Amino acid sequence: MDKRIFTAALLAAGLSGCALGPNFNTPAAPAAANDSYTPTPLPSTTASAPGLGGAAQQFAFGQEIPAQWWTLFRSPELDQLIRNALAQNPSMAAAEASLRQAQESYNAQSGSLVYPSVNGQLGATRQKTSTATAGAAAGVFNLYNASVNVSYTPDVFGATRRTLEGAQAAVDYQRFQVEATYLTLSANVVTTAIREASLRAQLKATREVLDALNQQLGVIEKQFEYGAIPRATVLSQRNQVAQVAATVAPLEKSLAAAQHQLSVLAGKLPGEAGMPQFALESLTLPEQLPVSLPSALVRQRPDIRASEEALHQASAAVGVATAAQYPQFTLSGSYGSSATTFGKLFDSDTNVWNLAAGIAQPIFNGGALSAKRRAAEAAYDAAAAQYRATVLGAFQNVADALRALEADAAALKSQADAESLARETLALTQQQYKLGGISYLVLLDAQRSYQQTHISLVQAQAARYADTAALFQALGGGWWNRKNQ
């Protein structure tokens, strides 16, 4: 018996190099990714415009993205806010806790599947035997038992290795989810700060427009009182005032919402004090934009890497389902002592032991195992399709951001020209008014036109800042360059 058990153990060990199911290979980058993100080439430099946020931006293809990319905006307040958010935001804490959970789940599976199971047992029993079965030895007696039991399932067809492979993929998936949360959180803080600064500037300009319109309305009402103009002119001016006044409350609402969002992103209640207020003037538009090569994007986007690990986990599940269709070997043994008195429990003549080997082969299960394998293969196909969709979405994000920056620069240049012309017109109108060449109404109208073009200029400036942050987010945010990686 011992020889047969030993032979079975050797056979199991010899077969343990076989792992059924597909061996996972990292998907290659899309073939077209070696050329460009966009169908037509991008200019190396965007257009420039005078004033805030008007600097020309250069696309530095192949240059590394800094890990703390938001520092390129050169705002100490923004940098500190992001650091606080990364330390206090509950979404970040939840992602890190999920990673720890996945790691400990892997440790638990590794301990239970890879190593033999060893259990100790100590027990005492008081029992009575029947004279029909025990004869003269019948009676009441105590029985003490102490033993150590060992069991092991050799990984003959790779079920254990595939299970652990899937568990490790789950750990890596959560690790990239942490990076994705890190990137999303930092990008959200930047874009929300930019939106807050833009809304504050728009609100200021809108109130200035409203003041100009109210002054103009006052003059028109005086003229109406003296019979110089018809009532229709007064009603038209009042309508303009009402229309502009109606835009103030939505801007105030949006500004408050942006401030509340910044507080929540930083892990604070909206009512807590100590939150900074941002202005576009406090931010510097990055002029050098490092752009990763298209072929490198699939290794840098954390959502792509997470999707890849989900695909890896699905591949391992196919191996587990395949191995379940093959025999399972088990080895077990125990050594201990059994005595009627506790004092003799470990005497040499009370020793007991056993060795056993077993094999279990599925014979009939109504096709359940084959169906489970086909289900695992279908899940793998779904994960592969999801991976492909994630890659396509990532390249679209980058292409959109690059084209947006190009368009933003052109739009800002046009808007800056319009604002400059409106400002020159206002200056000329003010001079003509001082000389008595025009009426006060013409001056107020020039002031209103200037303020409206100024609002559009602020929006164009904010778009360049926001789309710059969107590009860094689309490229993966440089997490791989952090020192603790």
What span, in angstroms and rounded, lies between the C-alpha atoms of 235 and 241? 10
Hey, which bits of 310-385 come out as E strands?
A: 328-339, 351-360
CB 190 within 8 A of CB 46: no
CB 15 within 8 A of CB 157: yes
Query: How far, in Å, are 99, 176, 300 from residue 180 at the CA level?
Result: 12, 6, 11
**Coil/strand/helix, residue 174:** helix
> Mind listing the pLDDT tens digit for each residue in 383-418?
999 999 999 999 999 999 999 999 999 999 999 999
CA 195 to chain centre: 21
**Coil/strand/helix, residue 328:** strand
What span, in angstroms and rounded, lies between the C-alpha atoms of 345 and 342? 5
Residue 4 token pair: 């047969």
According to CATH, the superfamily of the domain at 2-29+43-481 is: Outer membrane efflux proteins (OEP) (1.20.1600.10)
- Give pLDDT, residue 34: 58
Polymer length in residues for the chain: 485
Over its C-alpha atoms, the chain yields an Rg (Å, rounded) of 37
Is residue 15 pLDDT above 80, yes or no?
A: no
Q: What angle do CA 359, 363, 368 make, to 5 degrees?
A: 115
> Mind listing the pLDDT tens digit for each residue in 90-131?
999 999 999 999 999 999 888 777 778 888 888 888 877 766
Average pLDDT estimate for 349-370:
84
CB 21 within 8 A of CB 319: yes
The listed range with the strongest mean pLDDT (179-183, 335-339, 346-350, 446-450) is 179-183
Better-predicted residue by pLDDT, 10 or 371? 371
Is residue 191 pLDDT above 80, yes or no?
A: yes
- Name, in order, each residue with C-beta under 8 angstroms of 253's C-beta and a sequence gap of 6 or more: none
Residue 157 token pair: 């067809």
What span, in angstroms and rounded, lies between the C-alpha atoms of 38 and 482? 29
Q: What is the mean pLDDT of the chain?
A: 87
Strands 117-128 and 328-339: unpaired
Give the position of tokens 């206002």. 426
pTM summary value: 0.86
Burial (CB count <10 Å: 0-12, 13-18, 19+), residue 220: buried
